[in-house]
Amino acid sequence: MTLPEAFFFKCPLKINCGSHALDHLPVELAAVGARTPLILANGDPDDKKRLKAVIDAFRTSGLTLGVYDRITGRVQPELMPVLASVYRDGGCDSLIAVGSGAVVDMAKCLNATLAGRDPAAFEDSQGNDAVETAALAPMMLVATPGGNGDEATGYVSDGQRRLKASALTPAAAFIDPAIMKRTDDRELAEGALIALAHGVESFLDEAGSPMGRAYAHTAIGLIVKYLPMALRKENRRSSICAVVNGQVAAGCAFSCTSTDICHQLGVRLASFPDLSFGFGLSVLLPHMVDYVGKAAPQRAGELLYPLTGEDTYAITAADLKISRVMALLWEFFDAVGGELACTIPSSLAEAGVDGKQIETLLSQAADGPLAQCAAHVITAARSKLFR
């Protein structure tokens, strides 16, 4: 590993994982002087059972709880005044987000609202914190399947924009096998594929820090090993728990990554019908590895380590590492698709993206800071198969 001349890495998140991890919630709140948390969750039947497990963790704590469990699957800016009133009228002093996606985004946006700020105002033009974190309420995350790692970071959606405000990163994440059993397989796989792409991008980041790379290494290894096991119902709870840990680790790494070319292209692909964000990233990811491999073969070849472990990495010739990485990625996507009884596309053509849409993607990417990389990825992913 080559140490960059200068790098930035910040990860304020504390992770509590394992059996009875939820029991540490009152302790972590007490550590920051909080005694009246407002718990946010959605109304899904499975999440209601998870919410009950969270509430049970406070049974002997003596803390007063506020609960709002009617958040839908999308961010609702119009709900912010209501939630702010619930928080203030209930005398709440902290937040607990139970779930992923919109629930966590709503909790982060609520925290910004309570501080009297727009989420975009929490960082200056250089990406530095522009607001003291003391102005914010302590926030805890109860991580559940279906997330993609953004939940554990300062990334937040306000319903229109995806913003990065590191001050809004939760103080702690709780990953408990007790709430992992009831899970939608497609939702679990979708979030894990997104997190894997984020982990790989972070691992390949030329300007990335050694610490960020360590998080990315962990994320890649956990997701690749345990997602197929979770989908096969093999040691279901512990396997899902490992995948969620991988998503959280990927989020921690990706929050300090200087480039996100695969992510940005995936967002544009997700606007096309019948192609999910996770599946779109899976189409693009091997081609990004191929591009980095041509410019920095050693760095791209080192991806073999988290994918297979130290023994296989050590015995694989240097000039074969990149091709082996790409083959392993497709093997992984095939395994996931097989468990989901569907096919994860291996090219844009197979994904149903037509020539006109591809030309649109190329024109959109032409003005970006990494236009050459984007053009290579799109062109290579057009119809080329690595299988």
Neighbours of 103 (CB within 10 A): 26
User: 293 by DSSP, 3-state: which?
Assistant: helix
Residue at which a domain ends, from 127, 147, 179 = 179
Residue at which a domain ends, from 154, 179, 204 = 179
CATH for 286: 1.20.1090.10
Q: Are residues 157 and 202 in the same domain?
A: no
Number of structural domains (the chain) is: 2
Buried b (16+ CB within 10 A) or exposed e, 199-226: bbbbbbbeebbeebbbbbbbbbbbbbbb
Q: Are residues 92 and 41 in the same domain?
A: yes
Residue 128 domain-assigned (yes or no): yes
Q: Are residues 144 and 291 in the same domain?
A: no
Q: Please calculate the CA angle 218-222-223 and round it to the nearest 5 degrees.
A: 120
Residue 294 domain-assigned (yes or no): yes
E-assigned strand segments in 127-217:
139-142, 155-157, 162-164, 172-175
The pTM (predicted TM-score) of the whole model is 0.93
Residue at which a domain ends, from 153, 179, 205 = 179
Contact 208, 260 (CB under 8 A): no
Tokens of 311: 């023994």
Q: Are residues 223 and 146 in the same domain?
A: no
Residue 129 domain-assigned (yes or no): yes
Q: Are residues 138 and 219 in the same domain?
A: no
Q: Are residues 234 and 362 in the same domain?
A: yes
Residue 205 domain-assigned (yes or no): yes
Residue 9 domain-assigned (yes or no): no
Q: Are residues 56 and 160 in the same domain?
A: yes
Q: Are residues 126 and 275 in the same domain?
A: no
| pLDDT tens digit at each of 387 positions of the chain | 667 677 778 888 999 999 999 999 999 999 999 999 999 999 788 788 899 999 999 999 999 999 999 998 889 999 999 999 999 999 999 999 999 999 999 999 999 999 887 776 665 444 555 455 557 999 999 999 989 999 999 999 988 888 888 889 999 999 999 998 777 899 999 999 999 999 999 999 988 888 999 999 999 999 999 999 999 999 999 999 999 999 999 999 999 887 788 888 888 888 776 789 999 999 999 999 999 999 899 999 999 999 999 999 999 999 999 999 999 999 999 999 999 999 899 899 888 888 888 888 888 877 766 788 888 899 889 876 555
Q: Are residues 275 and 305 in the same domain?
A: yes
Q: State CA 306 to chain mean position distance.
A: 18
Q: State CA 226 to chain mean position distance.
A: 16
Q: What is the extent of the structural domain holding 231?
A: 187-381
Q: Are residues 103 and 197 in the same domain?
A: no
Residue 50 domain-assigned (yes or no): yes
Query: pLDDT at position 132, please?
Result: 55
Residue 7 domain-assigned (yes or no): no
Q: Are residues 157 and 212 in the same domain?
A: no
Q: Are residues 214 and 137 in the same domain?
A: no
Contact 105, 83 (CB under 8 A): no
CATH for 91: 3.40.50.1970
Instruction: Give the CB-side neighbour count of residue 205, counting CA atoms within 13 A.
Output: 32
User: 163 by DSSP, 3-state: which?
Assistant: strand
